[in-house]
Amino acid sequence: MKISREDVEKVAVLARLELSSDEISALTGQMDAILSYVDKLNELETDHIVPTAHAVPLENAFRVDEIRPSIGAENALFSAPDRVNDFFRVPKVIE
């Protein structure tokens, strides 16, 4: 087994997902199958290969430090589920 039920529960907490017991069971099986499949790659000799973060061989994409117009508070807040004045409103964050 590549992945345990506890692993799935932990990842669910980190991802802020609420899962039922059945879902955890199903996902444990599925994730284990996926990881076992990917594990095949370990059969390859990769000691001297630089890890690939990008499929495209591109580097150094820059912007110059010049101000571009922002979209403004109204547009920023347009889709917000809750707002107060020009702020997004979220449930009270404990200080």
Partner 1 sequence: MKYQAVIGLEVHVQLKTNTKIFCGCSTQFGASPNSQTCPVCLGLPGALPVLNKKVVEYAIKAGLATNCAISPRSIFARKNYFYPDLPKGYQISQYELPICVKGHLDIDADLGAKRIGITRIHMEEDAGKLVHSDIPGLGSGSGVDLNRACTPLLEIVSEPDIRTADEAVAYLKKLHQIVVYLGICDGNMEEGSFRCDANVSVMRIGSDRFGTRTETKNVNSFRFVKQAIEYEIERQIELIEDGGKVVQETRLFDPNTGETRSMRGKEEAHDYRYFPDPDLVPLVISNDWVEDTRLSLPELPEAKLLRYQSEMGLTPYDAEVLTAVRELAEYFEACLAAGSQPKMAANWIMGEVTRGLNDNGLEIIACPVTPKQLAALLALIEKGTISGKIAKTVFDEMWQNGGEPAKIVEEKGLVQVSDTGEIEKIIDEIMAANMGQVEEYRGGKDKVFGFFVGQVMRASKGKANPAVVNDLLVKKLKG
Binding site for partner 1 (CB under 8 A): 10, 13-14, 16, 51, 53-54, 56, 58-73, 76-77, 82, 84-95
Specify the residue, 47 or 95, whose C-beta has the smaller distance to partner 1.
Answer: 95
Provide, rounded to whole angstroms, the least separation between the CB of residue 2 and partner 1. Answer: 17
| Smaller CB separation from partner 1, 22 or 49 | 49
Report in angstroms how near the CB of residue 56 gets to partner 1 at its nearest: 8
Residue with tokens 């920023």, as numbered in its chain: 76
Report the candidate in 73, 3, 77, 11 with the shortest Cα–Cα distance to residue 34: 3
Total Cβ atoms within 10 A of residue 31 = 16
Q: What is the DSSP string of 21-36?
A: HHHHHHHHHHHHHHHH
Cα angle 14, 41, 15; round to 5: 10
22/52 with CB nearer partner 1: 52
Q: How far is the CB of 32 from partner 1 (least distance, A)?
A: 19
